[in-house]
Amino acid sequence: MYNKKSKIELKKSLKRESFNRTTCSFYKYCFIDNPEDLRNKLYSYLIEQDILGRIYVSKEGINAQISIPEHNVENFKSYIHSIDVFSDIKFKHAVEEGASFIKLKILVRDEIVAYKVPEESYDMNKTGVHLKPLDFNRSIKEKDAIIVDMRNYYESEVGRFKNAIIPDAHFSKELLPTVAKTLEGKEDKKVHLYCTGGIRCEKASSYLIKKGFKEVYQLEGGIIQYAHDMKKNDLKSEFIGKNFVFDDRMGERVTNDIIGKCHQCKTPSDNHKNCKNDACHLLFIQCDKCAEKFKDCCSKACNEFLQLDIVTQKKLRKDKNKKVSSAKLSTKFRPKLYKLFNYWK
């Protein structure tokens, strides 16, 4: 049960659609006895409902980002709620709509977030206190409050809570140890965690509690819910810039602040993109001017590679010694980013 159409075919059929789609996400940590079974069951139903997106299923739960035809949204929600362990799942809708996914992928994984920390380093029965967005705003202003961004570095590069501690982590597997180390000595502070939709804070809060942190809070529904609630209540967002998302939109604008910089010319920009050269595919930030200059590539080298005929390109890609490496940009994390982004794709 897999989709075998090409990328171009998929994009074409998406354009022909006569209905609107809505992007939505949900997760739950809960014991799933047979993830394979659930995966197959979900796949059959979702294909039938024209749902696209990416879902991870594991013995520890489910993590989903999907694009649903508007007329199927209610059906879909009832279907998920009809599954025993998912009866209380909350759905979060995107802050900014747009073409998010072109196909459906449901994968069985060991973890729903790839933290790769030992099982005894957390206890999912003891997680941080959930704070609704308005309460989170109040709480982060209290004495002894600290805010920690529980995402990878490149995500916070384009958007973050003001005054947040940004861990220098480039892989999910580095994140928890890095955060624990960064917060050493702050065990008595009020630690406030946030991430995109809330899922990463669940295990992270549990991990920090086990490490001896006494007061750990997590933003319920993540930045997505926060952005919705600030808008709805006409409140000033303490989160500034863009919320990075793991789909083709690559980001949702929360405020007009542009806090990132083009990786090529260093002017303010917060447009993430993948290098147009598929042999490189690097995730990076590029301003419009550099996009024009480098033809959506991360470097001159990648742009030149794309000018070659397809046969030569294929030959070069095969030949490891001559492999066209991505540009020699000065950002220290570029190869790591490339790998990490592909994990999610």
Q: If you count DSSP H runs as helices and E runs as strands, how many of each does the chain have, helices first? A: 12, 14
CB-nearer residue toward Zn ion: 85 or 259 = 259
Mask for 238-267, x = binds Zn ion (CB under 5 A): ------------------------x-xx--
CB-nearer residue toward Zn ion: 27 or 284 = 284
Count of residues of this chain found to bind Zn ion when the rule CB under 5 A is applied? 12
157: closest CA among 332, 342, 345, 339? 332
CB-based contact 337:170 (threshold 8 Å): yes
- Which of 280, 283, 285, 324 binds Zn ion (CB under 5 A)? It is 280
Query: What is the closest distance, in whole angstroms, from the C-beta atom of residue 171 to Zn ion in the complex?
Result: 20
- Looking at 238-309, list the stretches that DSSP marks H as alpha helix, in order from N- to C-terminal side: 288-293, 300-307
75, 81, 86, 89 alpha-carbon torsion, rounded to 10°: 80
Q: Is 337 in the site for Zn ion (CB under 5 A)?
A: no
Q: Is 179 in the site for Zn ion (CB under 5 A)?
A: no
Give the contacts of 285 (CB within 8 A, at least 6 positions apart): 157, 158, 260, 261, 262, 263, 269, 270, 271, 272, 273
Q: Is 302 in the site for Zn ion (CB under 5 A)?
A: yes
Active site residues per annotation: 195
Which segments within 204-261 are labelled E, that is strand?
215-219, 239-243, 252-253
Q: Is 290 in the site for Zn ion (CB under 5 A)?
A: yes
Give the contacts of 289 (CB within 8 A, at least 6 positions apart): 262, 265, 267
Query: What is the closest distance, in whole angstroms, from the C-beta atom of residue 332 to Zn ion in the complex?
Result: 16
Query: What is the closest distance, in whole angstroms, from the C-beta atom of residue 296 to Zn ion in the complex?
Result: 9
Q: Is 326 in the site for Zn ion (CB under 5 A)?
A: yes
CB-based contact 161:239 (threshold 8 Å): yes
Q: Is 285 in the site for Zn ion (CB under 5 A)?
A: no
Cα–Cα dist 141/144, whole Å: 9
Query: What is the closest distance, in whole angstroms, from the C-beta atom of residue 259 to Zn ion in the complex?
Result: 15
Q: Is 140 in the site for Zn ion (CB under 5 A)?
A: no
CB-nearer residue toward Zn ion: 32 or 327 = 327
Angle (deg, nearest 10), helices 310-318 and 300-307: 120
Q: Which stretch binds Zn ion (CB under 5 A): 2-10, 69-77, 81-89, 324-332?
A: 324-332
Residues that bind Zn ion (CB under 5 A): 262, 264-265, 275, 277, 280, 282, 287, 290, 298, 302, 326
